[in-house]
A and B are shown apart, each in its own frame.
Chain A
Amino acid sequence: MDSKSERKRLRTRWRTQDTELSLLALPTTIWYVLFCFLPMFGLIIAFKDFKIYGGFLSNVIHSDWSGFKNFEFLFKSNDAWVVIRNTLGYNFIFILLGILVPVTLALMVGQLHSRKAGKVYQTMMFLPYFLSWVVVSAVIWAFLSFDKGIANQFLADLGHDPINWYMEEKYWPYFLVFMNLWKGLGYGMVVYLATITGIDNTYYEAAVIDGASKWQQTKFITLPLMKMVIVMMFILSVGRIFYTDFGLFFQVPRDSNSLFNVTTTVDVLVYKQLKTATVGMASASAFVQSVLGCVTILIANWVVRKVDPDSAMM
């Protein structure tokens, strides 16, 4: 059988088929070069004393090298530490609750006597996932606005003084955690419910015959079989720990300056620095985020490969 040499021939010779396929891939390849690879080279800005005038290329070429000065400025400012604390802190809580709550609810919705009701609840709880942060921000404004908001009217009805919500730091960690959970709940439930419905029914039949209670079935059958997906979701979110949902931290608090300490994450800082034209610092922040993000994703992927080789990206 000369299939080996045949395969080798196929592998080495360029055929018309390859030309045609390359042609088909050309537009997307160009897209990747323009929108993904050019910006990677743009990271040079972080090491330059970049000024905004004239064309981009001539700027990059003519700007002076500044070495690590941008990074020095970044880490000497107090902002850097506040922002890293916020990013990691919120992500830590988001990961924890983002697994705990949807898993619990998915387990509960599977136990409802009426499947139809379960579907209806699920559909309703999926709605926030499809709302944009701008719309969500408008909704929150309706509740929290100082003079017209529903929350302050409620406080007034109870005889309390109104609270200037967008000025008070202490409430926002709770709001942000709640909003994040609220928006992601439907998504999380779907993922976990898909796993639960995929579990072979005979496990439960055997358990019932052995006299296992509902709680025992959940503890000894459902949860162990869900472990894989839970671990996967956990590792994936750990891999994104230096990234946050810009909309949540920028739109929902309405970019209020008095909330800086509790609402600014790396993404928000980069955007603010970009808009206030401290380009050097902005690109230094973005560079740090990209590199740390890359490292955590690679570590997470390495762990995934140890746990479950088929699910790894590489």
Chain B
Amino acid sequence: MSTRAKYESGLDKFNRVSNTTNVVFHIIFILLALVCLVPVIVVLSISFSSEDSIRNTGYHLIPTALSGESYHFIAQQGRMISRALGVSVLVTVVGTVLGILLTTSMGYVISRPNYKLKGLLTWIVFIPMVFNGGLVSSYYINSNLLGLKDTVWALILPLAVSSFNVIICKTFFRSTIPDGLIESAEIDGAAQLRIFFSIILPISLPLIATIGLFLCFSYWNDWFQSMLYINDQNLYSLQALLNSLMSNVDAMAKNASTMGISYATLVATMPKESARMAVAIIIVVPVAAAYPFFQKYFISGLTVGAVKG
């Protein structure tokens, strides 16, 4: 045992790339990692720069004059921002829960080999993967026929299910849940709804975590649905707010009157440039803090995804 371990580590050592190559690789990866991190650092440093310094000398990698005025402003009068944060959190939570329920239930149903409508439902899930109605007709159906325009449901419903996730669920249920378990529950007289909610879901936590995380990130990061369906500024999510701040520097100031703050005070006091980046930070920080912890779930999810197109 120990000799084998020693042999293997010896082989490992012997088979390593040379020290020079190792150092070169490290340098390359450090540079690449920096390229991926710098954007967030830039946003962070701009959000902490004083408005005057940005106006005079522009954006900087390292702030020339530190200031917390943008955050101070947000904490004091950012009613719009707290509202947008509320919308983002609501959409993410409701969307993720709804998405998990809709996705796993369908995945479970089409994973049951004896179910009569299995073929039909599998086609219903499968066809949209290949063919879709396109943006234009989806837009008109959602906004005119279903009346989702300017409702929070426009942000939640269209993203709730993806056929890809349903198929991941189906594969998971098929391969990890023994038929005997379901059969014995059936013999005990449990209805399918009960089996699904009190037996299947509790033992499928890894699956729920994977799907839930995918949904969570896509809801939190979504801006496209807002751009299409939301005109009412009270329903702006953080992404939509940042989007409108980016395209229109004065968006926040313009809306000041509707937010109950006097227009003049706001224009005079608002740190526009740094406030933008502060909103970006409010968006990025939860994501950047969360994803390293869930990376292993993502990795297993992505790997399943890559193998099972």
Residues of A at the B interface (CB closer than 8 Å) are: 10-11, 14, 16-18, 20-25, 27-29, 31-32, 34-46, 55-57, 59, 105, 108-109, 111-113, 117-118, 120-121, 123-128, 130-139, 141-143, 145, 147-150, 152-153, 182, 185-187, 190-191, 194, 204-205, 208, 214, 229, 232-233, 236, 246-247, 251, 254-255, 267, 270-271, 273-274, 279, 282-283, 285-287, 289-290, 293-294, 297-298, 301, 304, 311-314
B59 in contact with A36 (CB, 8 Å): no
Closest to A146 in B: B58
Number of inter-chain CB pairs below 8 Å: 307
B43 in contact with A39 (CB, 8 Å): no
B140 in contact with A254 (CB, 8 Å): no
Pairs across A and B, CB under 8 Å, 14 listed? A17-B186, A24-B108, A38-B133, A108-B28, A111-B25, A112-B29, A127-B37, A128-B36, A134-B242, A135-B43, A185-B36, A214-B17, A251-B223, A286-B134
- CB of B306 to closest CB in A, whole Å: 4
- Residues of chain A contacted by B42 (CB below 8 angstroms): 139, 142-143, 150
The docked-state distance in angstroms from the alpha carbon of A229 to that of B145 is: 43
Which listed residue (A25, A34, A128, A311) contacts B105, Cβ 8 A?
A25
Closest to B25 in A: A108
The docked-state distance in angstroms from the alpha carbon of A35 to that of B160 is: 10
- CB of A218 to closest CB in B, whole Å: 10
- Residues of chain A contacted by B217 (CB below 8 angstroms): 130
- CB of A236 to closest CB in B, whole Å: 6
Closest to B30 in A: A121
A135 in contact with B283 (CB, 8 Å): yes
- CB of B2 to closest CB in A, whole Å: 18
- CB of B53 to closest CB in A, whole Å: 10
- Residues of chain B contacted by A282 (CB below 8 angstroms): 135-136
The docked-state distance in angstroms from the alpha carbon of A200 to that of B135 is: 46
A131 in contact with B242 (CB, 8 Å): no
Asked if A142 meets B59 with Cβ closer than 8 Å, knowing A23-B193, A109-B29, A270-B136, the reply is: yes
